[in-house]
């Protein structure tokens, strides 16, 4: 499997029965494909939906996720305005948000919205989601196209939020953040700790219970 599928498969295991979950654009939108069949979660989208589902049949006008992709609605879904949507987010009613990232640092800071000198979509709802969700998971590839680590001592790009990231999942491993340090909790199949350390610019602690990623979902 490619790196994005591996990441999506592993993040899917963090989503539990009954959760209200917001998925960011890009890689996070792959995650529902890998949820266990017996798990029901409610997907929230900041553009005004609660109960997003897979697209079945022809797209319906205006029924799109936050990334503008056509989607479906599950029975019982609700459609509302942005004020209500962000009241849900800011009110702490989202259990987990999964976002892509450009950089995460050892203090749990996230940079995911701006690269100086390049055209990017803007921050969108990420600032509110990272602040309002109970748990923040960043799902991203471990390095840039130039091979530079995205797990850093200190983010070099403008921050989306400070000290809010709970977990980072990359194609190399699963990382917790505690007391200003990255902790390697799981390693990807056929990837060694030395390889992960070599591609991580921040200091990295290895958990006593380090184990391989389980990707059987």
**pLDDT value of residue 33:** 87
Which two tokens mark 128?
Answer: 């509110």
Convert the pLDDT of each residue in 20-43 to its tens digit: 999 998 899 899 889 888 889 999
Catalytic residues, by residue number, are 46
Convert the pLDDT of each residue in 152-178 to its tens digit: 999 999 999 999 999 999 999 999 999
**pLDDT value of residue 119:** 66
Give φ, ψ of 34 to 5 degrees.
Answer: -115, 15
Domain boundaries, the chain: 3-212
Mean confidence (pLDDT) of the chain: 93
Which two tokens mark 142?
Answer: 């471990």
| Site of tokens 């019982």 | 76
Q: Quote the CA–CA distance of 184 and 136 in Å, as a whole number.
A: 17
The residue among 76 and 216 whose pLDDT is bigger is 76
49: left (phi over 0), alpha (psi -120 to 50) or beta: beta
**pLDDT value of residue 36:** 83
pTM, two decimal places:
0.93
Write down the CATH superfamily of domain 3-212.
Glutaconate Coenzyme A-transferase (3.40.1080.10)
């Amino acid at each position: 499997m490619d790196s994005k599928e591996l990441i999506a498969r592993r993040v899917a295991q963090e989503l539990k029965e009954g959760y209200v979950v917001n998925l960011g654009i890009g890689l996070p939108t792959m995650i529902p494909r890998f949820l266990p069949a017996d798990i029901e979660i409610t997907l929230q989208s900041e553009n005004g939906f609660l109960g997003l589902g897979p697209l079945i049949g022809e797209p319906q006008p205006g029924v799109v996720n936050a990334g503008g992709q056509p989607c479906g609605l599950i029975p019982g879904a609700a459609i509302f305005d942005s004020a209500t949507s962000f009241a849900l987010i800011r009110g702490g009613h989202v259990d987990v948000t999964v976002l892509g990232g450009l950089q995460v640092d050892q203090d749990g800071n996230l940079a995911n919205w701006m690269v100086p000198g390049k055209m990017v979509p803007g921050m969108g709802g990420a600032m509110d989601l990272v602040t309002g969700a109970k748990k923040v998971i960043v799902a991203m590839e471990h390095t840039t196209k130039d091979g530079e680590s995205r797990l850093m001592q200190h983010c070099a790009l403008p921050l989306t939020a400070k000290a809010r990231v709970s977990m980072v999942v990359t194609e190399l491993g699963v990382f917790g953040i505690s007391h200003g340090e990255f902790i390697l909790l799981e390693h990807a199949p056929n990837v060694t700790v030395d390889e992960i350390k070599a591609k991580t610019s921040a200091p990295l602690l290895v958990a006593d219970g380090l184990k391989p990623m389980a990707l059987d979902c």
